[in-house]
Structure 1
Amino acid sequence: LDATGIDKNKMPEILASTDVLGTLTSGAAEALGLSVDVKVVCGGVDNACMAAGAGCVEEGNAYTSLGTSAWIAVSSKRPIVDNEKRPYVFTHLVPGMFVSATAIFSAGNSYRWLRDTLCRNLSGYGEMDELAATSTIGSNKLIFNPSLAGGSNLDKSVNIRGTFAGLDLSHTQSDIIRATLEGITLNLRAAMDVLANYVELNDGMLLVGGGGKSSFWRQLFADIYNKNINESRVGEDAGSLGAAAAAAVGSGLWNDFSPLIKINETINCICPDANHPAEYEYVLDVFKKVAEKQSEIGELLHGASAKY
C-alpha cells in the first residue's frame, strides 16, 4: 500500500474466514425462509473452500480437482513461492495455513472437444474410455499437450497451444483418445511435481470433480502420479462443504475443521499398477520436452498471426 500510495483506511478490513460478519438482513431472511438471527460468516475463496471440503486441513494434504479446467492444491503452513512456476497462493480456511495450487486451463474441456470433433461416431465418454483402454501406455508413441485454452503458470509461454506430437498414419481413434487422457494427466503430474519440490505430499491423492467418475481415468492418475487415488463421498461438493464448514466453525457449531477428515473418509482407493509408473516416467519426460518446444512454436504462431 505504501508503494502504491493507497490509503489503508480506504481498504476493507482483513478478516479470518471464520469471523462472523453479522446476521441475515430481513430481506435475505424472508427470501431464504430463515431467521434474521442466522449468522453470516466471512468464508473463503473457492480453492480454499474446496481444500477444506476435501479434507485437506493438515500439512501435506493434497487434492486434484478435475473439471473443465483442473488444478492440484496442497495445504501447508508456509505459502509456496516459486518465481518461475508462480503457483497460486490462497489463505486457507484453517487458521495459520495456506493453499498453494498449480493449474491447467484445458482438462475436461479437452476431452469434450475430442468427443465433439473426432468421436461423434461414439455414444459418449464411456465408450471413449473403453477404446482408450485398448491402446498402450504412451498411446503408441503419441503425445497430446492439452493447452487448447492457452498456457497456464506452468508453461513458458501463454501462447502455447495444444498439439498431438508424433501423429502418423498408423494411429487409431483409440490411440488419440488415450493420448488425450494421458496428456491431461501428465500435465497435472508436472503440476504436482512443482508443489512436491516445496511440500512433502501425503501418500494418497484425493480426486474430486466430474472427471473423477471415470474408473479408467482414475487408474491413469494412479499410474502417472504413482500414488493411491482416493475417492470420498464428498466428490463434486467439496467447495460447498468447505464453505459450510467455515460457517460451522464461525458460528460455534464446530470447534475446528477436524470433522472434515472423517467426512472425507476414503470409500474407494485405486492403487498404481506394479509396472506402469516406471513406464510413465519416461513418457512424462517426453511430455515435458514436447511442452517446452510447443511453447516456442506457440510464440512463432502468435507472431505470425499479427502479420496476416
Structure 2
Amino acid sequence: MSATYTIDTATSRANPTPAPMKRLTIPAIRRAKGKTPLVMLTAYTVRTAQLLDPHCDLLLVGDSLGQVVYGLPSTVPVTLDMMAAHGAAVVRGSYHAVVVIDMPFGSYEASPEKAFESAAWLLKQTGAAAVKLEGGTAMGPTVKFLGERGIPVMGHVGLTPQAVNALGGYGARGRTPEEAAKIVADGRAVAEAGAFALVVEGVVEPIAVELTQTVACPTIGIGASARCDGQVLVAEDMLGMFERTPRFVKRFDDLAGRISAAVETYAADVRSRAFPGSDQVYAPRD
C-alpha cells in the first residue's frame, strides 16, 4: 500500500497520509523496459486516485475526462483549465504512482515554444511529473524541446483520439502496409526524440510488437498487445461503468450494475420511510 488512511472528524471522510514509500520516478519507469509490465490507469478525482494508487505504476489524467466526466462527444473540446483542475486532484490523492497529464488538443501543436508554455503551466498547476502528447514524426522536435528543458514527455501513436476528425472515427489503425509503416516510424521518431514512454493505441498487434522490440523506452499498450511493456485502460471502462465498452477492454467488474442496485435499495428505503433509521438520526441529550 502507498498510503494509510485517517478519518477527518470534521467531514467523516478518509484522507490518505503518506506511508514510508517514495513516489516512483520517471527514470524508474524508463528502467522498467522489458521487465515486469507497467500498470497504468486513468484517474480524474482524488478518491479514484486514492483507490488506484497502491496498484498502479502510473496514473494518467487523460483528456478522456471530456467524455467520461463531462459527457462531451470527443476529447477535442477539453481545455487546459479542465486538465489542471483534475490533474491537481489526482496528485493530491496519490503517493506512489507517477502522475502523467494529457496536453489537450490545441495546447501544443503550433510550436515547441507553445508546447513548453502549456506544459510548464500544467506541471506548475498540478504537481504532475510528466505530460503526454499525441502525434508522431511531426511531434519529434517538440518532444526533444520539452525534454531538454526538464519536462518529461510520454508519447502516443497509433489511434490518436484528438485527431478523430482527421481519422474519421476510432477504428483500429495500421491495417494497410503503408499505415503500419507510418505508425512504426512515428513511434520510433518520438522515442528517439526522448520520450520516456510511448502509448500505442488501437493498432493491429504486429505494430505494437515491433515497436516494443525496437524502441528504447517502455511501450504502454491499449488495444495493442500483451507483449507491450505495460498496459493502460480508462478505469471506468474496466470497472464496467458504461453499458458499452470498446473491444479491447476487459470488464473486470459491473460497477454500474452494483451502483444501480444500491441506489434502487436506497430509493425503496426512503419511500417506505425505512431510512433514516434510529442508527442514522441524532437523539436528544439527557
What TM-score, normalized to structure 2?
0.29
Q: Which has the higher contact order (CA 8 A, sep 6+)?
A: 1
